[in-house]
Structures are given as structure tokens and as C-alpha cells.
Structure 1
Amino acid sequence: MNQTYTKYFAPILFFFLMLLDAQWTHRLLNEGVDPVIWRVHLMLIFMMFATRYLPKKYMIIVSLCLGIVFDLYYLGLIGIYAVILPLIIWMMYLVHKFLFENIFNLFFGLIIFITSFEILNVGLQLMFNLITVNPLYFVTKVLGPTLLLNMVLFCVSFFPAKKLFWN
């Protein structure tokens, strides 16, 4: 796919993946018997693949816009995701050279980015007194299941994402 077309197509794809992430997360939260929180991060997975193909400034601006939309729609205040998403994208570009050497680096990079995303999310919410959370509960009931689910989603979405964003 031509990079010009990808620049127009990518934000729309990321927006729909953001909606899909929220819907799947909500559904898994409501259907679960145990109080385990499974958070889907398909948008972050596809953004990781897009960082190989799209320019850094463009991806940071897109992630900022999507973060603001997410903040306004789901949280009702601007700041949490508008900070976290561009920061994670910036981190992806920092390790860009090592990240795309092989599939194992991508896989472990995904684990690092999702862990960073979740820790920053909880950290900012704790800083503004939006939540109170027990660290043991966070690691066992939120971070662990989220990482496991997204590792499976990475394996399932590897080839479609690679086909979309890599030459």
C-alpha cells in the first residue's frame, strides 16, 4: 500500500480498533465470573506495526488525537490517554531500530509497551485521585490477564498487521 494512502487509512483504522478495544474490554468485564479485568489493546498492537512505516511526528499527532477522543468519550476529562498514547508511541520510536529485527523482539516489545501503558494509566489515575488500587490486585487481576490476552491477540493479528503496514 502506498504511504500516502496509508496516512489517510491508518487513523480511521486506529479509531475503529479503539472502539473495538473498548467494546471487547467492556464485554469481557461484564461476562467474567471472577473479578478479572481483561483489557484489549489491538489499537496499540497495530500502532506498533505502523511505527515501522509511518513518520514519528505523524504517529504522535494521530495518537494524541485518539487519546483526546478516548479521554472525552470514555473518561470525561482530557489528560490520561492524551498523555499516555503519544508517550508510548514515542517509546516505540526510541527502540525502533531494535524492535523490528525479528518477531521475538516485537513480541517482547509488545509486552513492555502494554506493561508501560497499564502502569502509566494506573499511575496517572492514582496521581489525580481518580482510583485507589492495591498493587497486588493490579498485577494479578489486571496486568497479568491483560498481557496474556494481548499476547494471544498479537499472535492472531501479526500477519494482517504486517501485511497492512510493512512493504
Structure 2
Amino acid sequence: MRKLLLPLLLMLLFIGESIFVELMPEHLFGGSNIIAPRFLIVALLFLTVYGPRRYGILYSFVFGLLFDVVYTEIIGIYLFMFPLVAYIILKLMKILQTNIVIVSIMVIIGIMLLELGVYEMYFLIHKTNMDFSTFLSLRLLPTTIFNMIFVILAAYPLKKYYDKLVASLDV
């Protein structure tokens, strides 16, 4: 039963992102801003840092593919970006301290890398016509601020859960 808690948590966060978008009033953060909740990547990055590293990368691949299948028209963008961001954060954390503040800052940077990477991929294949300055002001900044609030609220519970997961697996 304990082995199913991690996939269940990640699946709930995956579904929670779309539910949050549907229930969030448009005018709450300004009508023109585009806010993308990134609850799943936050949990995946914390898993990569605090949990078994292979779990973080593996679940990033699985949920990247699932994200592409469910939410996007193009298979491969999130399948590529989720594990890439997790890998970059994992490598950066090898030279930084793994206290919760530093990890939270790195998770925010990871969200920004994800947003920038997805934007650049869509821009390269001409799926978006938004210029970069508009992207920065209407999508990247509001998304970063919103997800920063989520990281502040979720960092400690995620760290505790992943610490218990590692202890139970004896990794």
C-alpha cells in the first residue's frame, strides 16, 4: 500500500492542476495574465532532490508523457522538458546545500526553466506567435509568482513525505 502513495500523490497533483485552472476565476490575477499551476513539477523536483534520484527522473519521464498525451497536441515537449529540468536541478543540487530554502529557490528556477523551454519549443515550431517580452510579462512572471506561493506552502510537507519515503525504502 505504501508503494502506491507516491504515484497517487503525483496523480492527484497532475489532476489538481487542471481542476485548479477550471475553478480559478479569470479576473483573480488580472484578465490578461496567463497563470500555469505547476504543482506536479514542484513535487517531481522535490522528489528528485529529497527522494530516490532514480524515482525523480523516472516519474518525470512518465508524467511528462502523460502531460503531453492529456494536455498538448504535440507529444514530446513535456516528455523532454520534465526530465531535463529534473536532471539540471539534480546536478545543481550536488554543488549546493540541500536545505529547504535553497531547494525551494531551485524549484522556482526549475519552473522558470520549464516555462522558458516550453515557450522556446513552441516558438521554434511556430505554435505560438507571442513575442518574448510579452511572454515574460504575461506568462512567466505571473506563473513564477503563483508557483512560488505554492512552493512556500508545499515545501515542508513534501520534504517530510520524501524523507519518510527514503527511510522506508532504505535507499
| 1: CA distance, partners of 2:5 / 2:97 | 22
Secondary structure of the corresponding residue to residue 166 of structure 1: helix
Matching residue of 1:14: 10
Instruction: Kindly indicate whether the alpha-carbon contact (under 8 Å) linking 2:100 and 2:156 is maintained by their aligned counterparts in 1.
Output: no
| 1:73 alignment partner AA | V
Instruction: Kindly indicate whether the alpha-carbon contact (under 8 Å) linking 1:29 and 1:36 is maintained by their aligned counterparts in 2.
Output: no
Instruction: Kindly indicate whether the alpha-carbon contact (under 8 Å) linking 1:52 and 1:100 is maintained by their aligned counterparts in 2.
Output: no
Q: How does 1:1-167 map to 2 (within 5 A)?
A: 5=2, 8-28=4-24, 30-32=26-28, 33-167=30-164
| 1: CA distance, partners of 2:150 / 2:124 | 30
155 and 10 in structure 1: CA distance in 2 versus 1, 3 angstrom threshold: same
| 1: CA distance, partners of 2:74 / 2:98 | 38
- Structure 2 gap segments, 5+ residues each: 165-171
Paired-residue identity, %? 23
Instruction: Kindly indicate whether the alpha-carbon contact (under 8 Å) linking 2:46 and 2:159 is maintained by their aligned counterparts in 1.
Output: yes
Does 16-25 or 135-144 show the bigger shift? 16-25
Does 117-126 or 102-111 show the bigger shift? 102-111
Deviation per CA, 1:74-116: give whole Å up to 9, x if none. 1133111111101111112112224553233123212211110
| 1: CA distance, partners of 2:96 / 2:24 | 30
Secondary structure of the corresponding residue to residue 49 of structure 2: coil
Give the deviation of 1:31 after TM superposition. Answer: 4.9
CA-based RMSD: 2.1
Secondary structure of the corresponding residue to residue 130 of structure 1: coil
100 and 166 in structure 1: CA distance in 2 versus 1, 3 angstrom threshold: farther
| 2: CA distance, partners of 1:29 / 1:77 | 28
Give the deviation of 1:39 after TM superposition. Answer: 1.2
Runs of 4+, deviation exceeding 6 Å = none
Instruction: Kindly indicate whether the alpha-carbon contact (under 8 Å) linking 2:33 and 2:138 is maintained by their aligned counterparts in 1.
Output: yes
- Structure 1 gap segments, 5+ residues each: none
For these two proteins, the number of residue pairs brought into alignment is: 163
Instruction: Kindly indicate whether the alpha-carbon contact (under 8 Å) linking 2:47 and 2:53 is maintained by their aligned counterparts in 1.
Output: no
